[in-house]
Amino acid sequence: MNSLSKQATALWAKKRSEDGVHYWLPLVAHLIDTQKTINFLFNNWLSEGQRELLAQRIGEENIQKLVKFLGFIHDLGKAAPAFQAKKSFDNDHELDRELMESLIQNGFTGLDVMELSDASQSPHARAGEAILDCEGVPQSISAIIGGHHGKPEEGPQNNQIGVYTANYFQTDTAKTPADKKLQQKWKRIQNELFEHGLQSAGYGSVSEIPEVNQPEAVLLEGLLIMADWLASSEYLDNNQQTPLFPLIELDQIFADLDMESRFRHALTAWGKTDNWVPQPVALQQDPYQQRWGFNARPVQRVMTQAIAEAVDPGLVIIEAPMGLGKTEIALVAAEQLAQKTGRDGLFMGLPTQTTTNAMFARVSDWLSLVAKTQRENFSIKLMHGKAEFNETYRQLPEAANIGDTGAVVVNSWFSGKKSILNKFTVGTIDNLLLMGLKQKHLFLKHLGFSDKVVIIDEVHAYDAYMNQYLYKAVEWLGAYHVPLVVLSATLPKDKRNALIKAYYKGKYGKHFKKNVIAPEGWQNQQAYPLLTLFDGKKIKQVTEFTGQSDQKSVKLQVTRLQLDDVTLIQTVLNQIRNGGVAGIIVNTVKRAQTLAKLVSKDVKFIVLHSAFLATDRVLLEQKLEQMIGKQAQRPDKLIVIGTQVLEQSLDIDFDVLYTDIAPMDLLLQRAGRLHRHAIKRPEALQQPQLYVLGINAFDDYGAGNEAIYAKYLLMKTDHFLKDEIQLPDDISSLVQQVYDSRTDEEVGQLSEARDKFNTDLACEEKKAQVFQIAEPNLTVSQVDDETTIHGWLSHGQNHVDTDEQKANAAVRDIQETLDVILIKHLENGNFLLNGQKLTDCSSVQIAQQVVRLPVAVTPSYQIGNVIIELEKQTNHYFKAWQYDRWLKGALALPLDQNLAGTLTGWQLHYSLKLGLSYTKEDENE
């Protein structure tokens, strides 16, 4: 391989100054660093399944060459006047002058006086793509270079050099010998680097570079971005204690660098955690006994056996009752599927932060067992907006501070946009839905998910809008052959079928009906429990579970009640007069607070909803599970009033349950908290009783309930809800009856509600398309732009290039809301609401005192004014927060000694018992 010229090695890639010292990095050094890094990541960090996917069409040898070529050539666009004349980030004129002089001394004359076409039109990523297009590189490959800063170009850059010639060759024309000489010099250097990239990758000519399809290009782009970021990291973390790829001082040159030693030191410092090597799950010894200390239930045993027998497993859908142990089935399946498909990571997605926190501890315990078995350290990431406040997560050791002990750790390099690259992640479902959202650096999300077994819990909990993002994410998971496990106790069959078709379409293309091999009647299967498994192109369904009756069958008496709030509380109190635990689940926070205020002071009660401080909510959840969870010391008498947060995650047990009307699947989820455990109960509450509230008439469920849930679903639920329900036997049939449109004819007076439901559904689906990426294109073409990543993240203005909170709101179709820190602000100082003086608190403690403001207080047309007022108060009272790692950007809401405050015309009040409540100021006059 030819050595590089002195002129090529004089070009710079990075420059900065610190404490009066000037630093730079030769362009060729960064290109070599990135080439070595991406080659290492491909061979040592990517999972076997990812490598096989990339190699299956063009071959292992060719993909190895392509990866190395991309790594070296990615910043070729910096070998141009437009970049070499760029000013330093901190406008250090002396640094810019010294580097310019160095370039001139190495033969780049006239750089200091040239006139560029318009340098802003030729950023180096676009310039790199344009040069590669001129060199004859396939467009599917050159597009990767153009997009390596997070967003690809709209189309090929064939005309870029012709329009902005001086940006590439220092002068627009070559009419004079001097101009021609200038242009030839730049062309020679660009070609020299290009040829070096070819040769160092192992190519003999440009004709050997293959085309790739769209999913392959997305993964290669993600890998290139990751490699570029790593090779651009001077230090492992912000403490600057551990060097990775440092810049060099200006008096040093490329020849002074030992590139091999530099790379080895960097990757040794970076690689603080180990790769999971999944082992076959031995079924002759009960894996449930080995991992959790209990014998597998029949359903668990049969499902695990069926997954073990699959040859090419893809999508696994597990439908089984609440409390049966679906999570354990999924974690064993994760080990089985990872081993069969060559994956080495896990993502567990859940509906809410509460359910995610609860699951994190369980996954962390499982991973600890795996780590100890392999005797290596595995890094885990908790992914939601308040992850840093989770005590279990915060107590995990940092990867850099622990030896080879077989531990679960946190690797701080995998933070921010790199979070999903962590091998083991537990997070809210937003993280998965974001796979379908047009957003800069989306490639990293796709790269991160493609190496994992993905588990989606509580999949029934997502609405029509979120479902569109879910199906798009599932399509792309299928395109990457990612094993996907879906869990639900109450899954409508139409949603089951939609998930199956989306996965198939992503993996194999559009011809589902023609090519799928499936048992007769699979689309209408109502067996329960049910395992649906994609094995290659075969759909398999397991419906028989020997001994499945090991889960206790519960017969619920269902009674509809029409009561005002006062009478309701009196009825509940009367029901538990001789003891018992009553649950009341309502659909709004305001209603929960209203009911709680009516409970007699001498009766113990707990309120739980989303409008509590994060710390208070965690304590309340823990208190509930201690009082009425499994093996708890139950109180003689207790009323629990809550909202939908009681539907999920909490393993609690009510003797009697009252609930607002809700769609059948959610109603059954709530009923799953009734007589959940085998315990002794008060004499009057031996028979499980479910009381359904809010049914004024068959087609009247009150404005509040109908604002939250579609009237069409409430009417069908009302119609099919029997006076007696057998759990779990009736779960599937009841859910299917409500969600199957073919049963509409059994229900009268539905037409108006159905029309509105269908109109709203179509509107939600259409709205979800606006910011969505296209479906994966599996074809390869030299002439069709749709087969490349060109325009993948753009379509007019329809892309979301904003922060994570706004992106999360975009995939949930929810109004942007505000989190505020509640502080008691008095004349003698500032305090937490529990009375602790602020000056005695750590920043972390203060940051945890956060609550989300009600949507009514922050309507979209008013949110700007709310932010201005909060920022004004925060800057006035807590200016130092802006210099604190934990509190920077936080908004404070000062409250008086009665824990009351005002905000843009609203009176807000916080109570340790009731949470945050609000009223219009004029309502109090």
Separation between Cα atoms, residue 608 and residue 229, nearest integer Å? 43
Q: Give the pLDDT mean for 622-651.
A: 90
d(CA 381, CA 414): 8
Query: Would the pLDDT of 534 be above 90?
Result: yes
299-333 as b/e: b if 16+ CB within 10 A: bbbbbbebbbebeebbbbbbbbbbbbbbbbbbbbb
**Cross-strand partners of 836:** none
Q: Report pLDDT for 237.
A: 79
Residue 651 lies inside a defined structural domain of this protein: yes
Q: Considering the domain boundaries, does residue 403 fall inside one?
A: yes
pLDDT over threshold 90, residue 859: no
Is pLDDT of 804 > 70?
Answer: no
* CB of 627 closer than 8 Å to CB of 634: yes
Q: Mean pLDDT across the stretch 796-818?
A: 62
Query: What is d(CA 199, CA 601) in angstroms, rounded to the nearest whole number?
Result: 82
Q: What distance in Å separates the CA atoms of residue 213 and residue 776, rounded to the nearest whole number? A: 9
Predicted pLDDT of residue 813: 59
In one-letter notation, the amino acid at residue 166 is A
Residue range(s) defining the domain that contains residue 707: 552-727
Same domain, 374 and 428: yes
Do the beta carbons of residue 363 and residue 426 sit within 8 Å? yes
920 lies in a domain? Answer: yes
- Residue 202 maps to which CATH number? 1.10.3210.30
Same domain as 522, residue 375:
yes
> pLDDT band at residue 591, thresholds of 50, 70 and 90?
very high
81 with 174, same domain: the answer is yes
Domain boundary among 675, 694, 727: 727
In a domain, 766, yes or no: no
**pLDDT score, position 445:** 97
> Which pLDDT belongs to residue 737?
95
Statement to judge: residues 581 and 514 lie in one domain: no
Is residue 711 over pLDDT 90? yes
Do 490 and 562 lie in one domain? The reply is: no
Instruction: Tell me which H or E stretch contains 691.
Output: strand 689-693
| The length of the chain, given as a count of residues | 925
Residue 633 and residue 687 in one domain:
yes
Mean pLDDT in residue range 689-697: 96
The tokens for 593 are: 């607070």
pTM, 2 dp? 0.92
- Asked if residue 591 and residue 484 are part of one domain, the reply reads no
Nearest Cα to Cα of residue 355 among 446, 453, 462? 462
Instruction: Please report the pLDDT score of residue 925 as a whole number.
Output: 47
Total domain count, the chain: 4
Select from 727, 748, 779 the last residue of a domain: 727
Judge whether residue 716 has pLDDT over 80: yes
Give me 634's structure tokens: 């139950």
C-alpha 30/C-alpha 248 separation (Å) is 12
pLDDT above 70: percentage of residues in the chain = 96
797 occurs within a structural domain: no
The DSSP code for 211 is P
pLDDT the model gives residue 103? 94
In whole angstroms, give the CA distance from residue 132 to residue 31. Answer: 15
Range 575-592 average pLDDT = 96
Looking at residue 891, its pLDDT comes to 94
Indicate the average pLDDT of the chain: 92
Report the distance separating Cα 364 and Cα 369, nearest Å: 9
Among 470, 503, 533, identify where a domain stops. Answer: 533
What's the chain's Rg over C-alpha atoms? 31
Q: Which pLDDT value is given to residue 495? A: 94
The fraction of the chain above a pLDDT of 90, given in percent, is 75
Instruction: Check pLDDT > 90 for residue 801.
Output: no
What is the average per-residue pLDDT within 88-96? Answer: 89
The helix, strand and coil proportions of the chain, stated in percent and rounded to the nearest 5, come to 45, 15, 35
Helix axes 27-40, 259-270, angle to 10 degrees: 50
**502 shares its domain with 357:** yes
Residue 783 lies in a domain: no
Mean pLDDT of 665-693: 94
Q: Which pLDDT tens digit goes with each residue over 360-374?
A: 999 999 999 999 998
Which residues pair with residue 17 across a beta bridge? 22
Nearest alpha carbon to residue 463 among 716, 747, 694, 662: 662
**909 residue type, one letter:** H
Q: Provide the pLDDT confidence category of residue 814 given band limits of 50, 70 and 90.
A: low
Residue 764 lies in a domain: no
DSSP label at residue 672: T
Angle formed by the axes of helices 353-374 and 326-341, nearest 10°: 50
Q: Are residues 488 and 602 in the same domain?
A: no
276 domain-assigned: no
Q: What angle do CA 563, 569, 571 make, to 5 degrees?
A: 70
Give yes or no for a contact between 558 and 726, defined as CB atoms under 8 angstroms apart.
no
Banded pLDDT at 29 (limits 50, 70, 90): very high
Domain at 454, CATH number: 3.40.50.300
- 371 and 513 housed in the same domain: yes
| Separation CA 373–CA 377 (nearest Å) | 11
Residues linked to residue 629 through DSSP beta bridges, in sequence order? 652
For residues 868-883, average pLDDT? 92
Residues 455 and 367 placed together within one structural domain of the fold? yes
Tell me, yes or no, whether 244 and 391 share the same domain: no
Between strands 689-693 and 554-561, the pairing is: parallel
What is the structure's pLDDT at 326? 94
